Amino acid sequence: MAKEIKRAFPESKITALDLPDVIAAAPRADGITFRPGDFFEPWQVSADVIIMSRILRDWDDSKASKILKNAAKALLQGGKCLILEMILQESAPNGHLCDLHLLAVSGGRERTIRQWGDLLNANGFKITSVHSRDGFINVIEGEPYVYDQ
């Protein structure tokens, strides 16, 4: 994903943050900095935009909250967070098998838009927009209520 973003926005500075062994195995690309870290510990980066793709779904609300709090602290003034995740429909069965699988495998979960809103609000973010591309992956755009630097 970092390579695609760099290709679309060549002037951007991109830092990929992940566990040390993931970063060590990641193929390198010009203009992308790879930084080992732990989503549950304070991040040693700051950014205008943080993109989390299918990360929060792997965790229960308590652990997802820790990640979101670290994201909020890493955002620069005026920054935003883009969360790429499935959004469960409250009145339709689509995605509920994925939800059950996540619960069994990692303790994580898919969430409805109301649940995403509750999780983000509880951790200093407000949802500013939701973009649906294909119904499977959505982009939830959030801004922090307070910038904590």
In total, how many domains does the chain have?
2
* Separation of alpha carbons 53 and 2, rounded Å: 11
Does residue 73 sit in the same domain as residue 122? yes
Same domain, 27 and 87: no
Domain assignment of residue 17, yes or no: yes
Residues 33 and 6: their CA atoms lie apart, in Å, by 11
Angle at 139 between CA 133 and CA 145, to 5 degrees: 155
**What pLDDT was estimated at residue 97?**
46
What pLDDT, on a 0 to 100 scale, did the predictor assign at position 146?
63
Tell me which residue range forms the domain holding 28.
1-37
Residue-wise pLDDT tens digits, 14-69: 999 999 999 999 888 889 999 999 999 999 999 999 999 989 998 999 999 999 99
Q: Tokens 């926005």, residue?
A: 9
- Going by pLDDT thresholds of 50, 70 and 90, the confidence category of residue 149 is very low
Q: Residue 47 domain-assigned? A: no
Does a structural domain hold residue 46? no
Q: How far apart are the first and last CA of the chain?
A: 27
Q: Does residue 126 sit within a domain?
A: yes
Residue range 104-126, pLDDT digits in tens? 556 566 788 999 999 999 999 99
What is the pLDDT at residue 9?
A: 93
Answer yes or no: are the C-beta atoms of 111 and 87 closer than 8 Å.
yes
Are 139 and 113 part of one and the same domain? yes
Task: Tell me if 29 is assigned to some domain.
Answer: yes
- Whether 147 shows a pLDDT value over 70: the answer reads no
Question: DSSP 3-state assignment of 106?
Answer: coil
